[in-house]
Chains A and B, each alone.
Chain A
Amino acid sequence: MKKHTIRLHPLGKEIQVNDLTPLIDVLHEFGIEFPCGGKGTCGKCKVRLLDGEIQITYQHRQKLERLALAPDWRLACFSKCTSDITLEVEQFNHLILADESEFDFTPQKGFGIAIDFGTTTIVAQLVDLTSANVLAVETMLNPQVKFGADLISRIQSCLDGHTGEMTQIIRSAIGTMIGLILKRQDVHLEKVVLVGNTVMQLIFSGCDVSPLSMYPFHAGDLGMKVFTPEELGWKLQVKEKVQFYPSIGSFVGSDILAGIAATGLHRKENFTALIDLGTNGEIVIGNIDQIVCASTAAGPAFEGANISMGMRAVTGAISSLSLIDGKMEVSVIGNTAAKGICGSALIDAVAILRKMDLIGMFGEINSGEDKIQLTQKVYLTQKDINEFQLAKAAIAAGLTILSNKLEIQVADIHEIYIAGGFGNYINLTNVVETGMIELPEEKIHKMGNTALIGAKMFLFEDSEMTQEILSKTIHVNLEGDPNFQNIYVDKMLFQ
């Protein structure tokens, strides 16, 4: 198959892709977000074509005209790669919040780096503190994945005596990322801000993870951790400090603290929710007075774990399904033959199969067969559908139990933000259809990587906002709720 090279500015990145690869499939790895989910309505993913060709379809041209863009602009979500191209990514020139306003910041001197340290991926952005512009970005797979994909297996590895090694490799990897950024942009750093879940915080800081291995989960000090580059073994200069932001509770970390900051829900009168659909799923509901949050084990099914033909969002994965004239149509990443199905398409598949009445209210396959073919090669088994039910029920039950804690109904939630790379891709109509979020679609907004947005905001803040959020926030253990089982099992149904 023909290969092409994409060059990204101002990042100075080069990527090799297959012919006809949609840009949306490759750009999201670099922290580029698609707030409208690739419908071409928001224009946020616009890129300037500096060199090469991107063919414009009739539909693409209409969208560009409606957004009144100059002839050298393209929408990444409508573009496919058919030649070598060089792009300027508009999104790195602005920090954009989901309410479409750029966030307020007090300009400061110098440069800072914000890092979202996820269980699976790590994103670092170099920010000009005078303008809040992003000058460079680095992404990498968390090198700890060799110790297990999910948090429990990472904790297990720590218990098995690998803590020191895991601390060492992650510090060195992040140091290398920063080094790569500074190689391209020769600047002096004022500060580095890291956010991540509690387990990542403890491992990075070299603290004992074992209390998180079992109830009562009393982890030690989860507060702000401050380091000098020397302590971390980084051969680089940071004028002020390297800060790992405080965790909220045993399984809700500073990535969610940053998410709360990004949504600004702690300053809103109306109840607002944030759902982070990452490897570990977290849910927050709150307003200016009170915030409750919890973690759920929803992630694995959405990442393809425990799904017989499940896979991550890589080449060959079905990324979405739609029902056209009563027939299922699939779209495959990298424009190749379908090899498996990723989380976003799993939601589509279940919603569509239910709509076609191929599965019943309990998730049972109505034909009595043990699987349903989606394409000639890719299918869902009865067990896969059941796994999906567990995942969607975890989210729906989490929303219900947290609402109960606040003495409100889920329907009282004014707005709900979906964060996480995976959240970018999901079809909200289908999410609502499956009952995962029991609110009308117009109340649900995709917000991309809220952890990274919040981490960038923290570059401009002293710890006041952090203290404000922490003082309002309560961490809830969902399994500890006396009604958990009844609510969870009830949410497994399709109404």
Chain B
Amino acid sequence: MEELLEKLLQAVEFGKVDFKSPYPPQLKGENGAYELTIKALESGVGPQQILENALVPAMDRVGKKFSENKIFVPQMLMSAKAMGASMLQLKPFFTSGEIKTKGTFIIGTVKGDLHDIGKNLVAMMVEGAGWTVIDLGVDVPSARYIEAVNNNPGAIVALSALLTTTMVNMGEIVSDIKANLPTTKVFIGGAPVNNDYCQKIGADFYAPDPQGVVEHLSKLAS
């Protein structure tokens, strides 16, 4: 059992989606996250245990390596895909409530901006840290963030922007959210923003990379 979880952890860390996946070369001919999750469930490992003892630590390693420049976007995405293959098997347990997530995280790229790779990476990493993630997509106006929080009380909201010209929309969206839902925590991220800008527009938290978001979230959850 321990061995299965360790194998699953490695499959996710190195981005082995399933048996037939050619990546990564060093795990060729091995089972991937998909098969290993089915096996783990069959041999009686609890779904919460799969999440907490394999997926979460695997994605934590991935996030750390990414922020240390040890791996880049393609490997991170591969790991996220492997995690996704495993999550698909765990889905019924999320729906039934057998798996408890740490909370709900709502994310979207702000109005006027279509860039979503950075936003997607954050969404994947936060999901991999054991949160329920609601991805609103790109070009998202204030009203849609507010609607999503109303449907998920207590959720944390994250805004992403890639351009200096669209970053200004973050200020407007933060004000709108705070005016309607004063207790909601709003995070911001993206290439042009920094901590000063975060303070200036009255957002609650800025992180330079996905791992920063994950680490701050675990502080909030504990």
Interface residue ranges, A against B (CB under 8 Å):
152-153, 155-156, 159, 213-215, 362-364, 370, 381-383, 386, 389, 477, 479-480, 485, 488-490, 492-493
Contacts and interface: CB of A to CB of B under 8 A. Distances in A.
Nearest to A214: B112
Given A213-B166, A214-B112, A386-B69, 16 more contacts: A155-B165, A213-B112, A214-B113, A214-B169, A215-B112, A215-B139, A215-B166, A362-B72, A364-B72, A381-B69, A386-B73, A389-B72, A479-B114, A479-B116, A485-B117, A492-B74
B73 A489 contact: yes
B111 interface: yes
B62 to A, nearest CB: 13
B191 to A, nearest CB: 10
A382 B69 contact: yes
Contact of A156 (B71, B73, B74, B164): B164
Contacts of B77: 489
Interface string B74-94: 110100000000000000000
B120 A485 contact: yes
A364 B14 CA distance: 14
Nearest to A148: B164
Given A492-B72, A492-B73, A213 B113 contact: no
B4 interface: no
A362 B75 contact: yes
A152 B72 contact: no
B161 to A, nearest CB: 10
B146 interface: no
Nearest to A155: B165
Centre residue among B71, B117, B120, B165 by max chain A CB count within 10 A: B165
B165 A489 contact: no
User: What does DSSP make chain A's interface, helix, strand, loop or mixed?
Assistant: helix
Contacts of A159: 165
Contacts of B165: 152, 155-156, 159, 213-214
A45 B108 CA distance: 53
A153 B115 CA distance: 17
A363 B139 CA distance: 31
B71 A364 contact: yes
Contacts of B113: 214-215
B163 interface: yes
Nearest to B168: A159
Contacts of A490: 74
A214 B163 contact: yes
A153 B164 CA distance: 8
A364 B114 contact: no
Contacts of A155: 165
Contacts of B112: 213-215
B72 A363 contact: yes
Contacts of B219: none
A488 B71 CA distance: 17
A389 B112 CA distance: 26
Nearest to A381: B69
Interface string B152-173: 0000000000011110010000
Nearest to B111: A214
A381 B113 CA distance: 30
B72 to A, nearest CB: 5
Centre residue among A381, A479, A489 by max chain B CB count within 10 A: A489
Contacts of B117: 485, 488-489
A156 B164 CA distance: 7
Nearest to B191: A306
Contacts of A489: 73-74, 77, 117
Contacts of B169: 214
7 nearest A-B pairs in the assembled complex, by CB-CB distance: A214-B112, A213-B165, A479-B114, A382-B69, A214-B166, A386-B72, A215-B112
B70 interface: yes
Nearest to B116: A485
A197 B41 CA distance: 58
A314 to B, nearest CB: 26
A2 B169 CA distance: 55
Interface in B97-120: 111-117, 120
Contacts of B72: 362-364, 386, 389, 492
